[in-house]
Every structure is written in C-alpha cells, then in structure tokens.
Structure 1
Amino acid sequence: MRHQYKNLLKRYSFYLGGDQPHVPWIERIRSVIGAFIGLMLVLTAAKFLGELSGLDEWLTASLGASALLVFALPQSPMAQPWAVIAGNTLSALVGISVIHLTNEPLLAMPLAASLSILGMFVLRCLHPPAAAVALIVVLGHVVHYRYAFFPVMVDSVLLVLAGAVYSNLTGKPYPNRPN
C-alpha cells in the first residue's frame, strides 16, 4: 500500500513542479540579486529618461518577466539580446498597429498576441514576455508608435546591458556566443 502511494506521488509530482531541475541556492541568490540590481538600474534610468523627455510612460510591466529570463536563465535562446530587444519592440509595434485596425478589445487582444508571436517566429526573436507586451499595449490602449521605442525598446536594451554586465561579473557568460 505504501509503495502504491509513493508511485502515485512520484507519477503526479510532475504537475506540482516535479519536473523542475534542482537549482543550487547560490545560483538562486545570484539570480535574485541580479534581477533586483538590473531592474533597479533599468527603472531608475528609464524614469530619468522619461522625466527628461516629459513622457509619463517609462516602464513596461513585462520587464519583470524579461528579467527572469535574462538573470535566471541567461543561457536560454529566449533570453538572448536579439530575442529580448527585437521581441519586445516588435510586439509593441504589432499591438499598436492592431489597435489602429480594430476597436474591439476581445478581437484586438488575441490578434495582437498571436500576430506578435508570428512576427517573432519570422524574425527569429521568440521571447515569451513579448507576447504580454502586445496585450499590455492593447489593454492600455497605447496608440503612439513612440511607445515601442520608449519605453519598450530602451528598457529592453538597458535590461540586456545590465544582464550582460552582471552575468559576466558573476561568472555566467551572457550573451551566448554561437559555437
């Protein structure tokens, strides 16, 4: 009987994160500190640039998800500079374009997200948080293409730069160099 419970637990632990690889605590701490420092630098710089330019929008909410990839999974293809910068910028451009084509949010949201995914496939810049950028643009009814460049592109560039400096200082090569 006990053996059956053990087998059931092992079999279904997959659904509760049992498939996640073990990450040593030192790597967890490195990732958390990196994300904190990186996001603080990016947000401070973006806020300063926003104040200089007189723009209220200086932050994109999906930056936290991008930071997870850049700082915790720097070896992932989806965390590489082209994926982060081009994926986020493209998705913002797609979301803004969709808003100009339709005023119906129930159509605009899935259309923006799915078309941004298609664009990321075409440009080879898959970055999961970027699909959220398209949704954020539609939900926020952002209609100015400027938003794609500031804050989205600028924040993405700053995050990648912070990630590169931090990762290389802590012994994790970033970005990946093709073999």
Structure 2
Amino acid sequence: MKYLIRRYSFYFGGDQPEVSWSERLRSCAGAFVGLILVFTIAKLLGELVGIDEWLMASLGASALLVFALPGSPMAQPWAVIAGNTLSALIGVTAITVMPEPLLAMPIAVSLSIMGMFVLRCLHPPAAAVALIAVLGHITHYCYAFFPVLLDSILLVFVAGVYSNLTGKRYPNRPK
C-alpha cells in the first residue's frame, strides 16, 4: 500500500516541492499587498483619464509568479511586461482581423506564444491576456498600454520592493 501511495502521489501534487509556512505566508501577503496597490493605482489613474478598463484579469496569475516564484525566468520583469503587452497587442489584432472568436482565440494564443519565444519573454499568464482581448472583443490598441502595460509595470515594481524587503531577491541579477 505504501508503494502505491508513493508511486501515485505524483499525480496528486507529489512532485511539488516542500514550501515552508513562512514562505507561503510571505508569498500570499505579497500578492495581497501587491494587487491592492496595483488595483488602487490603476483605478485612480483610470478615473483620472476617464478609462473604464483599468484591470487585466490575468494579473492574478502574474502575481503568483512574481510573489511565489520570484526566481523563475517566467516571473522576471522582461517576461511579465513584454509578454503581457505583446500578447495584448496580438489579441487585439486577432479580433480586429478575424472577427470570428472561434478562430481568433487560437490564433491569438498561438501567435502570442510564438512572439514570446522570439522576444524571449515567455510568461504563461500572457497567453491569457491574448485570449481575454479576443473574448472581450477589445479592438482598441490602447488596451495594451493601459491597463496591460501599466498594470504589468506596477506589479513588477511592487514585487521588487516587497520581495527585497522580505529577503527574497527579485528580479534575478546576472551572475
């Protein structure tokens, strides 16, 4: 029985590394503080300039990466900022050129992945940014800059400050 549990626990999270409770709490508190700050600043800026779209939905997934896995290449500033912005641009283009969402969605996601490979900015939540643009029928390129670019920059900035204040190195620095 122990053999079976050990063998099949892999399929139920058994391959996940052990994480201390202090690190879990640090990551969760960072995501909370980071998102509160980003949402508040973005909402205020949106109201200031009269834009209703001040939030990108995939920011929660980006927060997981930058606060819980700050050493990951996919959580680094270039990956977060360029990956999200590029994917927003591609998503807007896809729904503009191909108004049929069933075709525009896979086109947007696959081209976003290719673009992130080319620009060396792989960031998994960014694929969702492209999908969100298509699903929301967002046809104005301003979306890529506000909220996507701005929210990404704010998140990276807050993550850098928070992580370094709490003993985690972010972003990675060349050795």
Give TM-score scaled by structure 2 length.
0.99
Provide the rounded CA distance (Å) in 1 between the counterparts of 2:117 and 2:174.
Answer: 19
DSSP 3-state at the match of 2:129: helix
Provide the rounded CA distance (Å) in 2 between the counterparts of 1:162 and 1:63.
Answer: 13
Provide the rounded CA distance (Å) in 2 between the counterparts of 1:119 and 1:44.
Answer: 30
- Aligned residue in 1 for 2:80: 84
The Cα of 1:101 is off from its aligned counterpart by: 1.2
Q: Does 2:151 match 1:135?
A: no
Determine which of 65, 71, 74 is the counterpart of 2:61.
65
The amino acid across from 2:92 in the alignment is I
Provide the rounded CA distance (Å) in 2 between the counterparts of 1:100 and 1:63.
Answer: 23
Deviating beyond 2 angstroms after TM superposition, the runs of 4 or more aligned structure 1 residues are none
DSSP 3-state at the match of 2:81: helix
- Aligned residue in 2 for 1:105: 101
Question: 5+ residue gaps in structure 2?
Answer: none
- Aligned residue in 2 for 1:164: 160
Q: Does 2:22 match 1:18?
A: no
Provide the rounded CA distance (Å) in 1 between the counterparts of 2:4 and 2:121.
Answer: 40
The Cα of 1:6 is off from its aligned counterpart by: 1.1
Give TM-score scaled by structure 1 length.
0.97
1:113-132 mapped onto 2 (5 Å cutoff)? 113-132=109-128
The Cα of 1:8 is off from its aligned counterpart by: 1.1
Provide the rounded CA distance (Å) in 1 between the counterparts of 2:71 and 2:161.
Answer: 15
Q: CA RMSD in A?
A: 0.5
DSSP 3-state at the match of 2:42: helix
Identity of aligned residues (%): 75
Provide the rounded CA distance (Å) in 2 between the counterparts of 1:178 and 1:126.
Answer: 18
The amino acid across from 1:89 in the alignment is T
The Cα of 1:59 is off from its aligned counterpart by: 0.0
The Cα of 1:103 is off from its aligned counterpart by: 1.1
Provide the rounded CA distance (Å) in 2 between the counterparts of 1:174 and 1:54.
Answer: 33
The Cα of 1:178 is off from its aligned counterpart by: 1.4
1:146-157 mapped onto 2 (5 Å cutoff)? 146-157=142-153
The amino acid across from 1:88 in the alignment is N
Structure of higher CA gyration radius: 1
The Cα of 1:65 is off from its aligned counterpart by: 0.2
- Aligned residue in 1 for 2:42: 46
Matched positions, count: 175
Question: 5+ residue gaps in structure 1?
Answer: none
